[in-house]
Each structure stands twice: as C-alpha cells, then as structure tokens.
Chains A and B, each alone.
Chain A
Amino acid sequence: MRLENISKRFGAAKAVDDVSLDVRQGEALGIIGANGAGKTTLLDLVAGQLSADAGRIELMQRDFTRASAARRCRLGVGRTFQIPRPFEELTVFENLLVAAAHGTGRSERAVAEPCAQVLEQTGLMSRSDTPAASLSPFERRRLELARALATGPRLLLLDEITAGLTQSERDVILPIIRAQGAAIIWTEHVSRSMAALVDRLMVLDQGRVIAIGKPEQVLASREVRETYVALEL
C-alpha cells in the first residue's frame, strides 16, 4: 500500500497534511501521536471512511483514491475502530459471518469454517451464539479484531486496539496480532507495547510526519522526545 502526499482538512484544521508512506506485504507499521495528531483520520482515509482532499492512495499498485470503503475491504483492507462497533443485534458468529461473506465475496456456507478458526484464535468460540450487545468491553475489543480478521485482510488497520486494556488483556490480544501474515498499520497512543512488535514506527504531529524508521531510532530521536515529552515512550 502506498500513500502519496495525502491531505485532509476539516474546515480550517489540517487533520492530515501531505503524508506519504508505503507498507510492504507482511510489514507492520506503527503510528503514534498525541490526541488529534491525525492517526484515526489517516486510517479512515486508507480504509475509505473519508476521502482525501489531495493525494493518491495505491493498493496492490492500483489507484484506489476514490474507491468506496466496501470495495477496499473486498480488495483486502480490514480495519478495527478505536471505539468497538459491533453489530449489536447480531451474535458474535454473525458479526464474523457478515464480515467474512461480504469481505471475501464468498458464500456464508464457504466461510463458516474460516470464521470458526478466527473465533478459536481470538478466544471467542464459547461466545459464538452470544448477542454482541451483551459482551464485556474486553470481549468487544476482541470481536473488533476478530471481525477485521474474518474479512481475510492483506492490509490490517488497527486503531488503538489495546487502548483501555489491562496488561493481562493486552497479553491476550498482542500474540493474535503478531501471528498475522498481513501488512499492518497500527496506531496507538501509548507506544511501548506496540514498538516491540512493529517493523517501523511513524510519528504524527498535527497531521504531519515528524519521524519514521526503526522503532528504537524513532523513539530515541530528539525531535520525537521533545514533541512527546508528555507521552510514555
């Protein structure tokens, strides 16, 4: 996936300002930044929830700058939302089923088995017939991840997937993420758990990229330390 000079404004505010980056197959890119730095907006632009004011988005070497969110998903972009958004009227299994069937374009019958594998992988098998509305916050977070995985993503976008979780809960989530073969773009507010898992780390400040590279180099850089002195790095 490649972004070229992507920008997005909300009124006078520049949420994303001339961002360019690329992510190769199997690579994990972490993005950190303070609240309002543009992390979620950037994911929304990649996933198609927002359209860019300027710039170009390529997926698999094809221009998808104007493609719908549904089309991007079918081409392999799976995402989680910062605040979990389960389909509350549906059960856990049905949440995965709708994602697997529509995200891959296969029949429900054909995707039942892959859904079962994702349920087992994410530890939700025992809750498969439970309405999503009655899940605990941690289970909702896992369902969010499971639903994104069910679409069979080649590029997985994770929006603060570990936010608000305890360390033991993170210990459940992180190995699942680590086991994915897909390219990953993963935003977090707190970076320590993520930095150990990603190949590269990017820092956003007011919509602009201020650093990108190996996690240890980025975290050690003076500009990042000065900008994010308040963050736990």
Chain B
Amino acid sequence: MAWRMSTRTPASVAAGLMAVVLVGGAVVLPAYASFELLGELSILLTMLVLAQFWNLLAHHAGLVSLGQQAFVGIGAYGLFAAVIAYRLDPLPAILVGGASALVLAIPVAVLALRLGSVQFAIGTWVFAEAVRLGVTQWNAAGGGADLSLPLEAREGMLGADWVGATFDVEAAAARDILVYWSALALAVLTVGFVYRLLRTSGGLGMTAARVDLVTAQSVGVRPARMRWMVFLAAAFGTGVAGALIFLQGARVAPDTAFDMVQWTICVIFIVVIGGLGTIEGPILGVLAFYFLQRALVGYGDWLLAVLSVLAIAFMLFAPRGLWGIVHAATGLQLFPTRRRLVRNRGEVPPKKAAGN
C-alpha cells in the first residue's frame, strides 16, 4: 500500500491534547468554582449540545428543524415521569428523557423526512406546537401546571452522598455537581459523536448529498439512511439535554419546556454567529451567547432584539460566523474532517501529474 488517507493536522493533534487538559480541568472544577458558576456552565454545556445537534441536522443533513423544542420538552417530561411515576433515580432517568424523545422522533421522521426543506421546517414547528398543546391538555402530565421533582428524589440522587462527602457540601449542592458533570459528559460525548460521524464515509456521503443529491445517488450514496440516523440521534441527544436542563431546576411546565425561542431560536443564533457547518462554530457561539446574556441581563426582551440584529449582521457580512473569521485569519482547524491522500513512509515520491 503506497497511499493512505489522513485527516490529522498538527493543529488537530495539539487541539486533542488541549481538549484532554480542558476536560480534565472541567471535571475537577467543582472543587474550586462557585455553585453559581457551575449552574451557568451546566446551562452553557447543554446549550452547546443543542447547538451541535441543530448544526448537524441543518447544515450536514440539510434538515432545518424549527421544532427541536419538542424533543427538549419531551426529554424533560420523560425524566419527570420516570422519577415521579416509576420512582427511578434522576440520573438514569436522564436517559429515559432521551429515549422518550427518540420514540417520539420515529413517527415524526416517517412523515417529516418525506418533505421538502421548507415544508420540513414548517412541519417540525407545527409538530412541536401540537406536542406542547397535547402535553398541556394531558392531566397525567400536570394539565399545563408546573410539576416538581420530589424532594427525596432530588436529595437522594445516585452518587450524591459520595459527592457531598468528597466536596463537603450539602445535598442540593451535590445534586448541582452531579448535573454539571452529566452536562459535561453529554457535551464531550456529543462533540465526539459529531466529529466521529463527520469522519465516517456516511458523513462524507451526507456532505456530498447536500451539495448535489442526484450526483451523490449516482455514486452509491443513500442519503435517506443517514438523514434518518442523524434525525434520531439529534432527537435523543436533544431529549437528554432537555432532561438535564429541567433536572437542574427540578421543575417543569409546558410553556418553558416547549419554549421555541429558548430551545430553537437561541440555538440557531448560537450556530449562526459561531459558524454554521463546523464543530468549532457552536463552541464559540455558545460563549458569545453567554457573554451577551450577561451583558444584557437587565434589559429583558431587548436581548432577543440584539440577538436577532446580530444574527442578521453575521448572515450578511460574515456568513461563516466567528469561527470562519478565526479560520480565515489563522487557517486553524481544531476538528479537521478534510481527507487527504498521504504517501506511506518509505515509498517513492509521486510522479509529476500529466496534462493539467
């Protein structure tokens, strides 16, 4: 074998090492950080998860969804149902939230994945509203009123005793640490999953199908299969994130759980200003979102107005977002997916190509 394929770059190797150090630092952060900061980081990490999955859906699979709030809400209600009705511990119940969203996504996919892009966007929005209305009318789910997690479930969470003893904190703080670690694990797994997926031949096929569907099919790409997989994976991940978000507050209501502005519009903002189509973009975008939120904390709905104007400005003047600006200036790629043909060591250099 004279040739092999590689995606690795010097920057990606350095980024990998840096990521290990950062994640390691993030794991031990509860020993040093305030609980307010841990709470904010938990929200930030779950927003990053939502942004990564929306980016995967919209850019890579060509599925611009305006209904991701349905999966956030169902994830949250799945967790609450598992804890309240089945007395499950809240930590494993997070996965029940994801599974609930996954189950809901299957019939949605059957219908929505047959639609064109515009109809898909509208269809997912309508579906999310229908789910919100259904949950509002469902007595077992509170009939539109708030549901709270039982105190014993919150304070007796799996591992809370160990965390409380290790960090010398009370039960409520131990729960916050567990939620923060769960959010961190989910964010790391999500970024890893998206990066891995984009480096598979399925990921490359998905890109080809987005660029030119007819030609992609003519070289053997079966985009429907990948779109199904991405839609279901995004539903599961978004459901898990929803479960985590509402576990933190220990309270859920339909209007907050299925809030389109919070769980879809703000996520689109994060992706647009960070950089659509890259893994790095949503990471920068979520940081920008966090600092903007802090800067405009006393201005209520003005935050949304500022976000909207900024998003439009980015679409017009910097369509590749903040990461696009960084990449153009430095050439940096932390998560490279570009495949290159590399000659194996010890092989003779390639002949000069003919006939250009």
Q: Which residue on B lies nearest to A133, using beta carbons?
A: B211
Q: Which residue on A lies nearest to B340, using beta carbons?
A: A129
Contact call A113/B3, Cβ cutoff below 8 A: yes
Contact call B2/A101, Cβ cutoff below 8 A: no
CB neighbours of A74 from chain B (8 A): 220
A76: min CB distance to chain B, Å: 10
Kindly identify which residue among A78, A98, A123 contacts B204, using a CB–CB cutoff of 8 Å: A98
CB neighbours of A91 from chain B (8 A): 338-340
Contact call B219/A73, Cβ cutoff below 8 A: yes
B window 211-242: CB within 8 A of A? 211-212, 214-222
Interface size on B, residues (CB 8 A): 33
Contact digits for A89-128, partner B, Cβ 8 Å, 1 yes 0 no = 1110110011101111101110011011001100111111
CB neighbours of A87 from chain B (8 A): 207-208, 211-212, 215-216
A8 interfacial by beta-carbon distance below 8 Å: no
Contact call B1/A70, Cβ cutoff below 8 A: no
A window 26-69: CB within 8 A of B? 47-49, 68-69
B window 324-340: CB within 8 A of A? 338-340
B352 interfacial by beta-carbon distance below 8 Å: yes
Contact call B201/A107, Cβ cutoff below 8 A: yes
Contact call A139/B3, Cβ cutoff below 8 A: no
Contact call A123/B353, Cβ cutoff below 8 A: yes
Kindly identify which residue among B2, B212, B219, B354 contacts A113, using a CB–CB cutoff of 8 Å: B2
Docked CA distance A65–B46 (Å): 48
Contact call A128/B341, Cβ cutoff below 8 A: yes
Docked CA distance A103–B222 (Å): 10
Q: Contacts A90-B211, A97-B339: A79 and B355 contacting too (C-beta < 8 A)? A: no
B316 interfacial by beta-carbon distance below 8 Å: no
CB neighbours of B2 from chain A (8 A): 113, 116
B85 interfacial by beta-carbon distance below 8 Å: no
CB neighbours of A125 from chain B (8 A): 350-351, 353
Contact call B215/A101, Cβ cutoff below 8 A: no
B356 interfacial by beta-carbon distance below 8 Å: yes
| Residue from A97, A129, A150 whose CB has the most chain B CB atoms within 10 Å | A97
A119: min CB distance to chain B, Å: 7
Q: Which residue on B lies nearest to A69, using beta carbons?
A: B217
B345 interfacial by beta-carbon distance below 8 Å: no
Kindly identify which residue among B201, B221, B354 contacts A123, using a CB–CB cutoff of 8 Å: B354
B205 interfacial by beta-carbon distance below 8 Å: yes
Q: Contacts A88-B211, A107-B201, A125-B353: A94 and B339 contacting too (C-beta < 8 A)? A: yes
CB neighbours of B354 from chain A (8 A): 123, 172
Q: Contacts A88-B211, A103-B220, A147-B219: A94 and B204 contacting too (C-beta < 8 A)? A: yes
CB neighbours of A116 from chain B (8 A): 2-3, 341
A110: min CB distance to chain B, Å: 10
Q: Which residue on B lies nearest to A117, using beta carbons?
A: B3
A81 interfacial by beta-carbon distance below 8 Å: yes
B4 interfacial by beta-carbon distance below 8 Å: yes
Docked CA distance A175–B356 (Å): 16
Contact call A89/B221, Cβ cutoff below 8 A: no
Contact call B353/A115, Cβ cutoff below 8 A: no
Contact call A98/B216, Cβ cutoff below 8 A: yes
Q: Contacts A91-B339, A109-B5, A126-B356: A98 and B221 contacting too (C-beta < 8 A)? A: yes
Q: Which residue on B lies nearest to A129, using beta carbons?
A: B340
CB neighbours of A89 from chain B (8 A): 207, 211
CB neighbours of A94 from chain B (8 A): 204, 338-339
CB neighbours of B217 from chain A (8 A): 48-49, 68-70, 73
Supply 14 further A-B pairs (C-beta < 8 A) apart from A103-B219, A125-B350, A127-B353: A49-B214, A70-B220, A85-B212, A90-B208, A97-B204, A98-B205, A101-B201, A102-B219, A102-B221, A103-B220, A108-B5, A119-B353, A123-B356, A126-B353
18 A–B pairs (Cβ distance < 8 Å), ordered by A: A47-B218, A85-B215, A87-B208, A90-B211, A93-B341, A94-B338, A94-B339, A97-B339, A98-B205, A102-B201, A102-B216, A108-B339, A116-B341, A119-B341, A123-B353, A127-B356, A128-B340, A151-B219
The 7 closest A-B pairs by CB, nearest first: A102-B220, A126-B353, A99-B219, A103-B220, A101-B201, A73-B220, A116-B3
Binding site for B on A (CB under 8 A): 47-49, 68-70, 73-74, 78-79, 81, 85, 87-91, 93-94, 97-99, 101-105, 107-109, 112-113, 115-116, 119-120, 123-129, 136, 139, 147-148, 150-151, 172
Binding site for A on B (CB under 8 A): 1-5, 200-201, 204-205, 207-208, 211-212, 214-222, 338-341, 350-356
